Amino acid sequence: VRSAADAMHHQEIQRTRVFVRIGQLLTLVFAAGGLVAGGDRIAQGVLFFGLLCVLVPMSWLARALRDDANYTTTRALPVALSSVFGAMCGIYYFGVFSPAVVALPFGLYFFSAAQDFRATLTVFIGCAIGYLALAVFVMTGAVFDRGLIVPVGNGGAGGMVVQAVVVAMVETILFATLLIERSTRDLTLLAIERHDRAQRGLLQREALLKEARLDLDRALH
């Protein structure tokens, strides 16, 4: 590790390894949950298809990450986008206005720490627009709500207002998650850089002191 950026890059590789392992485990857990919970067959099929779309690229990335040199944002981004797609499938299965939506800020928080801001922004847009589109389709009746958890008594204009508020809150949380994690990453990078500068300053002072002692010894000799 030669610089703060190198340190952050190494940390990103390690975080990705952990995320992939946890993601693979969660995929299997959600698949088992879908089998046990049952529900609408079409929604169940959507869930399993989405989980498959997550598991395959995650397994590929886990294999590639056996060597640190294989990690690039270009390779990680498809896994991120497939995870967003899988999350949307899970949200459709459990319910667009169900607690399943918390999966989005969880994943976004991880990907927001990436060094490449364009990749982070791509994931954020995928989460924000994907959920907004799914919610609007369900609210307008363009897509039938087959979720396990469906709000009761939310029909009519009043129900639309409640659903719109829920959607607005989710979108706000997603944006706040992006801002918090990016600022956290920037502050961490700044702290590492300051530490490196302090270390270099100490080493320079030690070198000057050693040189001064040598000069003094030569003068005394």
Nearest CA to 16 out of 52, 70, 93 is that of 70
Q: Which residues contact 81 (CB under 8 A, 6 or more apart)?
A: 122, 123, 126
The length of the chain, given as a count of residues? 221
Two tokens at 175?
Answer: 């944006």
How confident is the model at residue 22, as a pLDDT?
A: 83
Q: Tell me the mean pLDDT in the region 170-193.
A: 71
Cβ neighbour number for residue 68 with a 10 Å cutoff: 11
Res. 221 pLDDT band, cuts 50 70 90: confident
In this prediction, residue 203 carries a pLDDT of: 74
- What is the band of 5 on the pLDDT scale with cuts at 50, 70, 90? low
Model confidence band, residue 4 (pLDDT cutoffs 50, 70, 90): low
Give the C-alpha distances (Å, rounded to integers) separating 205 from 55, 174, 209, 212. Answer: 53, 47, 6, 10
Helices and strands of the chain, counted as H and E runs: 6, 0
Looking at per-residue confidence, does 157 or 111 come out higher? 111
Question: Which of 2-11, 86-95, 201-210 bottoms out in mean pLDDT, i.e. has the lowest?
Answer: 2-11
Percent of the residues in the chain that have a pLDDT greater than 70, as a whole number: 83
Q: What is the mean pLDDT of the chain?
A: 81
More confident: 82 or 169 = 82
Q: Is the dihedral of CA 92, 94, 96, 99 positive or negative?
A: negative
pLDDT digits (tens, 9 = 90+) for 6-23: 777 777 788 788 888 888
What does the pLDDT read at residue 86?
Answer: 92
Instruction: List, for residues 120-175, the tens digit of each pLDDT value.
Output: 888 889 999 999 999 999 988 898 888 887 765 555 544 677 677 778 878 887 78
Q: In the prediction, which pLDDT does 2 show? A: 59
Give exposure, 169-206, as e/b (b: 16+ Cβ within 10 Å).
Answer: ebbeebeebbeebbeebeeeeeebeeeeeeeeeeeeee
What is the mean predicted confidence (pLDDT) over 204-217? 78
Nearest Cα to Cα of residue 86 among 60, 139, 49: 49
Residue 83 predicted with pLDDT over 50: yes
Q: What is the pLDDT of residue 51?
A: 94
